Every structure is written in structure tokens, then in C-alpha cells.
Structure 1
Amino acid sequence: MNAEQWNALYPVGTPVFAYPGFRPEDDRNARRLVTRTRTEAQLSASGDPVVWVDGEGSYICLTHVDAVSESVWQAAKDSEVCGAREPEPRTGTSPCVLPAGHGGLKHQDKWTNQWPALPVPVGDQPQPLDDEVDADAVAARAAQVISNMGGEIRELTHQRDRYRLAWQSASFRAEARGEGILRVVKDRESYQQWLKQAEARVAELEAERHTTNEALTDAAETLRANRDRIAELEAQQPTLCGRTRDISGTEYPPCELRADHWQAYCRGNGGRSYFLSIASNQPTAPTEETAS
């Protein structure tokens, strides 16, 4: 089970059986803690899912922590015994079966074998002990000191791992933040490049529009000039004679000569019809003098 799955199932304060060293199936003398979790599960520096429990300074791997029900936990707590072992065990001795924290001067196993416990001082000064008890007490004290040293070592190891986790977390956050900054910078550079391309395209379209406007202006000027020329040419078109009746009253196609023509005859139908028309003010033929 990984840390995420454990946290989803078991909140902080869950009753557990924890095994700081070996599990009982691996070592029949394995130490069991009837305790509760005091943190959420997380990854240690080595990458293992771990959790901290009450009564233990260092973390314990989740493979060595069993969640139990409140009733099972309470029953185990009620039946919990001291469990201390003789510093130099004799043949046939077993762990102390007295209640945990019994505070007696001697431990006792299930065979009623006894050995000295850590002496408890009475009053302001330590009470004197006989030589045998004093020697046993020194040995017990040495064992206790060694045990305490082990606890301190575990606590230091726990602190070291905690600092490692904090460092890794800070490192991951810094790395993620750095990647985020790089991504923002990259996006900003992309936006700037896109903006430059857009500005270049706008300038290109404006130049194209200017060129188009100039072409339209030239075309409009050309149209105006052609219109004026057409009007000028139309104004220069001579008015045709258009007479259709000759002096005898016969009808002919309209005369195609100029209205002020000097000829005595009219001509129509593409020059195929000639006739003398009635002209009230027929111009006379030009003389040599007027022709010149």
C-alpha cells in the first residue's frame, strides 16, 4: 500500500500495531507497539512509504504497521506487559510479564524468574543498594543507556530524514517553479514573435492598400479623361442634314450630309441615293475665293 492509499483509508490517530524492527513472522521476539499514528503517511528519502506513531521517535515503514479496530486495540492495550528482557539472559528466562510501567525494582518472567529493574530513587538522594543489587543495577542502567542511545539515534535519523524530505520538497517546488518561469518566458517570447509577425502583416496590408488606392485613383483619372474626351468628340460630331423629300415630293432616305452642306443635292443611303431637296436657305457652293 502506498502513502496516498493509506491516507485515503486511515486518518491521523488511527489505532495500529507497529513493529519498529522485525515483524513477528520474521522474528518471534519482535517488539510490538500498541499505539496510534501521529502523522499522515509520506515518502522517506529512500522512497519508502512511512508513518510516525506515538511512543516512537523515528518513522516506521507502512509494511510494519497494521491498522486495527478500536476494540482490538483496546484489548491489546489492556493486556500489554512490560516485556523487558534480562540484560544477560539465563537459560529458560523469558520477557517480563508484569504490567507495562510497573515501576518495580525487579522484572519477572512467566516462570517467576526475576532480575533487577532500573532502581527507583527515593527522596533527594539515591538509596544505597547491596553489592549484588548494585551490580545488577549498573548492568541494567548500562542497558538502559544503550537503549536510550538507540532512541536518540532513531530520533536523529528521523530528523535527518525529515530534513531530507523537506529539502526534496523544496527542491521539487523550486524545480517546478523554475519550469513554470521558463514556460512563461517561452510563452512571452512566442507572443512577442507573433506580435511582430502581426505588425509586419499590418504594414504589408497598409502598403498594399496604399498601392491599391493609387491604382484606383489613376483608373478614376483615366475614366474621367476618357469621359471628357468622349463628350468632346460627341460635341464635335456635325449635325446631319436629314432631309428626305425632293422638289417633286418624292421621299428618300435621310440625307447624310452635314446640315449646312453647300451641295445642291442631298445624299442618303450610304451615298446610293441623290435627290434635290427643298431648301429654304440652301448654302451656295464655295467659290475659289471662299475655298481658299
Structure 2
Amino acid sequence: MEKFSPITDSVNYTIPAYIRDHRLGYQAVLPAVEALRILSDTVLKHRPQTDVTRMRDIAFSRLLPVGADDTDVDLRITIQAVADTGDTRGTLSTRFTSRSGTITRMKEHISAVFAAPGTRPNALSRAQPVPPGDMRLYAAQEGFSVSADRLYRELVPFGPGFQSLTGHICLFPTHATGMAGTPATTRPAPGILGSPFPLDAAFHVACAWGQRYARIVAYPVAIRKRTIFKPTAPDEQYAARVQPLETSGGRLSFDIRIESLSGEIVEAISGVEMRPISGVSTGPPDWIIA
């Protein structure tokens, strides 16, 4: 397996206006999906043979707040070889300085392991096409539907730049589905990972499921594995399908699939761990609780 000396790169990230719509409470924070994009792009810059569309052991260890007056943020990316696998580990950190200026240290916000070059996995078998017509009729079979407008108003209070679900979100005890895309007012630069918004929308679906069936407001903190078979396009709609795996100890875990409207699985995410965040999460509203 190829080994290389650790690489450190400084990235000055210009904060797009729409990032401020990604808020936890009253504080804007850098979205996990955007941090993953920055990390992947930087790893690819230094290690172009790395397959950044296959990643594992993703940890969202700390939120990265975006201040009201911030126009950019200095990031440090560290890239290291993973022993005996040929994989590459990347971490994204920021420098923290105490108010007195006497203490300076690095804070890690996200890390991921990217696959070594090799044979691409075959796409998963095709799923069922998305039900045509009004999703509320689909939910009426046995579940519960909530409009995207109400979800973003009362369950996941993000601004327009991150309102990536449309129509009605269908919640069932065993799964949940929502229609996802890139908000009309937001057009991120295309990249090898595709649009970050369908996956972010799937997190919103999972958050709504947790509020209804587990009675907690949970946010993603880790992902076991993510495989992108076909990058999502900003001008396309997708089905975000969420399957709960475990709901115990105040923590939730899910498997997620992002599918085209014809049923093609374009992205598979397994072992998404979610939990409440201290100082941010409050209880769900009464009307959503099953």
C-alpha cells in the first residue's frame, strides 16, 4: 500500500450568503454536507487518485459557527495515509484563540476516510419508482404527512437557502420519504460529489421521523459509509428515503438512499447516527408526536 507523509493545507473559505440559512437555533453553522465537499475537494487536489465518492467513518465532531459579520473563514485540512489499506483520511479544523490571546489550539470539526483507487462498486438494484401524484395519498395508506412548508416552519427551521424538501414528507413507523432537490435560489458550483442538498434534505426527513416516533430533535453526528454512484444534479428532483435502524439511549441511526424519480439509486448512505445537540435541541411540538 502506498504511504505518504502527512499533508497540511490552508483553505480560505468564502461564505456564500445562503449558508446563513442553515441555522441551529439562532446561530448559523457550516452544514455538514458543505464541510464534506470542502474536505473532499482538498483531498482530491493533493491526492487526485483518491476515490472521494466512496467514504467511510465520517465524524461531525464539532459545529463550526458562522458569525453574523463573517465573510470568510480560515480552515486547515490535514491529509494522512491510513495504514495497511491505501485509503486516505482527511480532517477539517479551525484555529481557536482564547479572548486573552494566551491559548491557541486547533478544533477538529469533521473527518472522513476516502477510498483508495480501485474497482467501483456496482450500483444497488433499482428501487421502486417514486409514487406519482400527491405524496399525501401515499402517506394516507398507513403513515403521516407533513408539508415541506410546515416542516421548515416548525420542525427544521432553516431559511430558504436550505429548504431542499418540496411537497409533502411521508412518515411511517418503519421508513420515511421526501422529495429533495436544490433550492431555486441556491446554485452551488458543481463538483465530483454532486449537489449537497439531496443528502441534507434526507437529514431533514430523518429529523422529522425522530420527532414523530422517537420524540427527540436529533442532528447527524456520524456516518459509517457513503457511496455516490452518480452525482446528484442541481436541476433534478430526487426521492430521499430514510430507514430507521435503532432508536435507543437518545440516539437514532438510519440508512438513507437518494434515488432518481425513475428509481435509480444514485447514492447510498449507511449508519447515519443522529442525536440531540446540547443547547440547541428542544422537544418536538405536540402535533408531530405519534
Superposed pair shares fold, TM > 0.5:
no
Relative to its length, the structure with more helix (as a share) is 1
TM-score (norm 1): 0.21
Q: Which has the higher strand share?
A: 2
Q: Which has the larger radius of gyration?
A: 1
Instruction: Flag the structure with more relative contact order, 1 or 2, with Cα contacts below 8 A and sequence separation at least 6.
Output: 2
- The TM-score with structure 2 as length reference comes to 0.21
